[in-house]
Structure 1
Amino acid sequence: MTKRYTREELAATAGRTIPDVIGPGLDVLFCGINPGLMSAATGHHFARPGNRFWPALHRSGFTPRLLRPDEQDELLGLGLGITNVVERATAGAAELTADEYRTGGKALRAKVEQYRPRWLAVVGIGAYRVAFGDPKAALGRQDTTLGNTGVWVLPNPSGLNAHFTVDTLADEFARLRVVAHNSDEGSELSG
């Protein structure tokens, strides 16, 4: 049974951070915009009911079954991880400033340098554009790399993103999965 949080309990989590699910040499490090209040309350990424990250991850073939947010640590055994551009939890991404995105982008570059995933997948085109100073970026594979790490931009899986269904999100995630699991790609990326 999932605990139900009151509005006040959720509001009290604003500003909290949650630990990354990360380790060296991952195939894909997924990067959310920032934790929502439900994620801050539970300590689990993409925890808000209605967020489509976990269903899209499964339907795209990244996971053998639909994982719950509280099973996020199982991702490491699959060569996957999760972090965020901005660490502090908010009720919505609109509460974040451009400076926070840019600072988060610098921290993310350092994290990628330390852990060296084959791919960094930022889920949220707007967050990527500001954090990486690339206002014309489009979804998909980016021309930019971070060292030997390829960069991919995925749609935001939030239930508020009405432009994508779970199935169309899964299609976008699957495009990355095919490239990430192709032995000819990966750490030997060409720009």
Structure 2
Amino acid sequence: MTTRPTRADLAAAADRTIPDVLAPGLAVLFVGINPGLWSAATGWHFARPGNRFWPALHQGGFTPRLLHPSEQDELPALGLGITNMAARASARADELSTGELLDGAAILTDKVARYRPRWVAVVGVTAYRIGFQRPKATFGPQPEPLAGARLWVLPNPSGLNAHFTPVTLGLAFAELRTATDLPDRRAAGPPDQ
């Protein structure tokens, strides 16, 4: 889809799923809460205008330039991937049940065991707290690994999350990138092929 989804497109996208952007041995697997309707209508993760994931990914130094959501398939070449805690699309993350997040955490754990990323970055502390039953979890590195991967919790990049500005969100992503020992790609050219 190259045009903006219509209201009918968005309404039809409820409860859809979208494919993961995943490959074995990634450096970082980013985990969204669940696809929004805009993402489900387009098939692109973090696609809604106003979502700050892609700018934060670039400001954090993970990508050499700001990628459009339609370019998500370029991520594995950079050692990056995307999945979700819950697969079902909804208008808002708070429409998910506790059971969906608990089930999603179990599915994510199996996915991490199978694909073996070095780091898993959950993008949304509330979903992480509920899904993994860690009510006191905070942002940043987590003390326990997830299926052998190091675990990090980032702020939710949704435009609805007013607690983080684009600048502070970019800094949070940069802190993760520094911990992963990945280079700051903003100053670098395209990855070696």
TM-score, scaled to structure 1 = 0.93
Cα distance between partner residues in 2 of 1:77 and 1:5: 28
Match of residue 133 from structure 2: 133
Amino acid at match of 2:134: D
Aligned residues: percent identity?
A: 63
Q: Which runs of 4+ in 1 moved over 3 A?
A: none
What's the CA shift for 1:181? 1.5
Match of residue 158 from structure 2: 158
Q: Contact conserved, 2:109 with 2:147, CA < 8 A, in 1? A: no
Amino acid at match of 2:50: G
Amino acid at match of 2:28: V
5+ residue gaps, structure 1, are 184-191
Cα distance between partner residues in 2 of 1:4 and 1:28: 29
What's the CA shift for 1:26? 0.3
Amino acid at match of 1:139: F
Q: Contact conserved, 2:110 with 2:147, CA < 8 A, in 1? A: no
Match of residue 9 from structure 2: 9
What's the CA shift for 1:146? 1.6
Distance 1:2 1:111, change over 3 A: same
What's the CA shift for 1:2? 4.7
What's the CA shift for 1:4? 2.2
Query: Secondary structure of 1:120's match?
Result: strand
Aligned length: 183
Match of residue 26 from structure 2: 26
TM-score, scaled to structure 2 = 0.92
Instruction: Please give the per-residue CA displacement for 1:56-91, whole angstroms capped at 9, x wherever unaligned.
Output: 000110000000000001010000000000001000
Cα distance between partner residues in 2 of 1:138 and 1:66: 28
Instruction: Please give the per-residue CA displacement for 1:83-134, whole angstroms capped at 9, x wherever unaligned.
Output: 0000010000111000000000000000000001000000000000011110
